[in-house]
Structure 1
Amino acid sequence: MTHDLGPSGIIPGILAVLLWCFTGVCFAAGSRLMGPMPYTTAICVVGLMTGVAVQGLHRRPIGDLFRIEPRVWMAGFFGVSVYTVVLILAVGIADDSDVAQVVLVNYLWPLMIILIGALFPTPADRQPGGSGRMLALAGALGFTGVAMARGPESLLRPPHHLIAHGLAFVAAMLWAAYSVLLRRWRVPEARNGSTAQWACCAVLAALVGWIRGEWSAMPALGWSAAGWALFCGIGPVGLAYHWWEIGIKRGPVQSIAVLSFFIPIGSAALMGALFREALSPYLIPGATLIAIASAIVQRTTLTPTVRTEPADGSNHEERHP
């Protein structure tokens, strides 16, 4: 599998980021109509069906989705199934005033992807000396942009307890590690690691929901609940994770990771537009910092490499700005 720094490598990652901007809206609406874990169970089932449909459209054997190496199964179980349930549980048990902090802790995962990739690069991702520091700076700027967009009033308030924050941090580590491993192991697209995991995630979410009594408390379902489950299951779950795997395995991983910092910005904007929630005045400054971080990554990682032939016949690489 080759790493493509052109449009075919980065566009799938961008599409995944755009779809994930709708995740907050979907969970806000779906959780109110069904309960957090029943809604998660529903969207995981729809996500699984979407992945199977995509596999069929590509005329690939459906069974390939489930014939996965044991290490990929294990990584996917923790990186997709456990990650999803732990994050939703963290947000669910957090005090209302702590939710913004918990979500922010989860968005350490793009920074983790950048740092892990810089510390343990694949041969195709190796950068010249000094690039690691620039990538770390870009990651820190991106995370600062997310924090700024949330607003200091919600972030500086002492949390009621740190259990939810700890769960969100664990979730961030699981997802970042899984994304890096997918690229390092070069898992074929026909056998992506996430589609089959939606079955495991659905079972886990259903079990946690049963333990928490959410199924017995679930209100009567209507067309609205079904619509939100279908939209989230097809888009932010089924298609987004499919495209994310393509982008993270083919494209410029650091650039895609920094662009992921825009997810909470887009989510906040959609929440304000669809639910008439007040937008933070810090959204634009936060987005500006993320854009600067993205530019730093582009400058650092997408510098073209020119191979020259010196007089002694040895190969020599020069990087030109």
Structure 2
Amino acid sequence: MPANLYALGAIALWAALASLGVSLKNVPPFLLTGLALIIGSVLALPHVVKDRRQWQVAPGTLGLGVFTLFGFHFLLFMGLRIAPAVEVNLVNYLWPLLIVVLAPLYLPGFKLRGVHVAAALVGFAGAALAILGGREPAGRAINHAGWGAGLGYLLALASAMIWANYSLQTKRAALTGKRFPTAAIGLFGLVSGLLSLLCHWALEPQVALSGRDWLLLAVMGLGPLGAAFFLWDKALKLGDARQIGILSYLTPLGSTALLMLVTGRALSWSIGLAALMIIGAALLGTRAK
């Protein structure tokens, strides 16, 4: 199905996000996000130049898009600052499960079958195995304790809920004839990027960027924080949100495996088992009518 191909394209790009983030670890998070989102918004300009109405969206739609792109990254980055990164990442990857189980609440005529729930749970178990199997060795782990870790997990959960809500709202708008142009995502990214830069100015130290940093920022902006959002939008508008949610578990698997390769760590048995679980869940979910 074309929709699943669009979703797989977005997933492939998102899988590279963590590796790019490691390569840009010298860049403060909000500066990184702000610049990448603004670079990604450039992809919409050819469509806007042809038709300015592509960016003429309802205030509520603009608010949803900006709230999602900015709120998702803001809450996730704050969670990563105060709680263990592996566990925060795992909680954040509840969003594919939320897309599957909440679909009937958002989408008219959509019913949740047992096969969807089973596939979503197996996919989440595979994602958990991939993330936990890819954690840093114990000697290099950062120790977090106290109430801060719990707050970090809550922020990660809120981030996941924001992305699931946006995804299902996008699908509902398409079903009810209130869809917004895909090019409008460029406007969402531009405004969200500016808000991120404002957070950088207020909360983070100023840094000088090298030519290598700008090159990697361009790759991140045009890929995981640019084209991926456009592909995701097309997938949701054309496909089954339940199937796309299950496919999304390929993201943490690909991200963890690529990150281990980039950092020179050997792939473990847990990554292989996680791959079997996630691919099995994806096949099960996408075959469900």
TM-score (norm 1): 0.80
Flag structure 1 segments of 5+ consecutive residues without an equivalent. 1-6, 302-321
* 1:31 aligned counterpart, secondary structure: coil
- State the SS of the aligned residue for 2:269: coil
Code of the residue aligned with 1:116 in structure 2: it is L
Tell me the SS of whatever aligns to 2:62.
helix
- Contact 1:31 1:39 (8 Å CA) reproduced: no
Distance 1:204 1:274, change over 3 A: same
Correspondences of 1:51-90 after superposition (within 5 Å): 51-53=44-46, 55=47, 60-61=50-51, 63-90=52-79
Give the whole-Å Cα distance in 2 for the aligned partners of 1:38 and 1:185: 32
For the residues of structure 2 that align with 1:184 and 1:90, how far apart are their CA atoms? 29
Gaps of 5+ in 2: none
CA contact (8 A) 1:100 1:154 kept: yes
CA distance in 1, matches of 2:118, 2:285: 9
The one of 205, 209, 222 aligned to 2:200: 209
Q: 1:188 to 1:119 in 2, by over 3 A?
A: closer
* Distance apart, 1:152 and its partner CA: 6.7
Alignment identity in percent?
Answer: 23
Is 1:10 matched with 2:4? yes
Q: In structure 2, give the amino acid aligned to 1:168.
A: A
The size of the alignment, in residue pairs, is: 278
The SS at the match of 2:288 is helix
Quote the residue 1:117 is aligned against: 103
Residues 57 and 180 in structure 2, CA contact (< 8 A), matched pair in contact too: no
* Aligned mate of 1:249, from 194, 218, 237: 237
Decide whether aligned partners of structure 1 residues 134 and 60 sit closer, same or farther in structure 2, where only a CA change above 3 A counts: farther
The structure whose Rg is larger is 1
CA contact (8 A) 2:6 2:235 kept: yes
Q: CA deviation at 1:105?
A: 0.6
CA distance in 2, matches of 1:191, 1:271: 30
CA–CA distance in structure 2, aligned partners of residues 65 and 86 of structure 1: 29
Pick aligned residue for 1:108 from 67, 71, 94: 94
Q: Distance in 1 between matches of 2:184 and 2:281?
A: 29
Please list the CA deviations of residues 33-67 of structure 1 after superposition, one character each: whole Å capped at 9, or x if unmatched: x22111111101101112224x26xx741x23321
Alignment of 1:37 with 2:30, yes or no, is yes
Partner of 1:135: 116
Match of residue 274 from structure 1: 262
CA contact (8 A) 1:23 1:232 kept: yes
**2:43 aligned residue (50, 73, 80):** 50
1:94 aligns with 2:82: yes
RMSD over aligned CA atoms reads 2.3
| Matched residue SS, 1:292 | helix
Residues 1:180 and 2:174 aligned together: no
Question: Normalized per residue, which structure has more helix?
Answer: 2
Q: Which residue of 2 is the match for residue 316 of structure 1?
A: none
Q: Does 1:236 align with 2:224?
A: yes
User: How far 1:149 sits from its partner (Å)?
Assistant: 1.5
Query: d(CA) in 1 for partners of 2:53 and 2:220?
Result: 24
Q: CA deviation at 1:77?
A: 2.0
Give the deviation of 1:193 after TM superposition. Answer: 4.6
